[in-house]
Amino acid sequence: MPPLHARLSAVLLALLPAGAVASDWPAPIAALQAQGMTIHGEFEALGGMTGYAGSYQGHELAAYLLPDGEHVIVGTLQDAEGNDLSRPMLDEVIRGEEDGESLAMLEQSAWIAEGEAERIVYVFTDPYCPYCQRLFDKARPWVEAGEVQLRHVMVGLMERDSPRTAISLLAADDPSAALLAHHRGEETPHLETLPRDLEEALFDNHQLMESFGLMATPSMVYQGERGLQMAHGLPDEDELAAIFGAPHP
């Protein structure tokens, strides 16, 4: 049988014997897994079919399980005008999975919360970044109105003391209050000995920031209409309203 990437057009695939693959997916989809295809999720398709978003050797593929539940077609579904109906579903499912993984990494990072709200925006923040200070000030109306919670993912990039200050803020008895005091110009007491776990957490924050392709602070990551989105630098008021999901209070 030729390799899967050589059969990207819609062709009916032969099935492996029932029970040949241990999987929660239907047998034809499990057969694709056995051939090396990664299944990311399923979606509703036309004609009584069920669609599955997959990938193989760097290629994103759509697989369509026929109503009989016994056969699967791998390829692109098009309408009478030649529009690709598979691509949007692949983007939605695979991007959704990737976004979920990214959000999980952000949730597990070392951050300091500012405010309480259902809407959450992650901000990569350096203690000595002047634009972080300006963002902190500009965001106060939304934060105080309960429209958004900012989670400051602390990094230490700007100044020699940035790492020590970031770790000292994370280690404070009340990190939120300590960050607020720092932005109000109060001196942040530095720890003489930095906890090893927080040093590692700060390093992980740096790695996470780099994994998003972000190079400067402040940079924000948030859930938008088109999935997970990013904003670099200091947004204007209209951009902040869009990021925070509400007009200026």
In DSSP terms, which residues pair with 229 in a beta bridge? 222
In DSSP terms, which residues pair with 64 in a beta bridge? 51, 73
59 near 4, Cβ under 8 Å?
Answer: no
* In the chain, % of residues over pLDDT 90: 61
Helices (H), 127-236: 130-144, 162-171, 175-183, 196-211
151 near 112, Cβ under 8 Å?
Answer: yes
Tokens of residue 247, six digits: 């007009």
Which residues lie below 8 Å from residue 111, measured CB to CB, with a gap of 6+? 122, 151, 152, 153, 154
Task: Return the pLDDT at 14.
Answer: 34
**What are the chain's domains?**
4-85 (3.10.450.70), 105-244 (3.40.30.10)
Angle, helices 237-244 vs 130-144, to 10°: value is: 60
Give CA–CA dist 52/41, Å, rounded: 6
Task: Return the pLDDT at 23.
Answer: 55
Task: Return the pLDDT at 124.
Answer: 98
The distance of Cα 115 from the centroid of its chain, to the nearest Å, equals 21
Per-residue pLDDT of the chain (249 residues; tens, 9 = 90+): 333 333 333 333 333 333 333 358 899 999 998 899 888 888 888 889 998 988 888 788 899 999 999 999 998 989 889 999 888 887 777 676 677 788 899 999 999 999 999 999 999 999 999 999 999 999 999 999 999 999 999 999 999 999 999 999 999 999 999 999 999 999 999 988 999 999 999 999 999 999 999 999 999 999 887 778 899 999 999 999 999 999 999
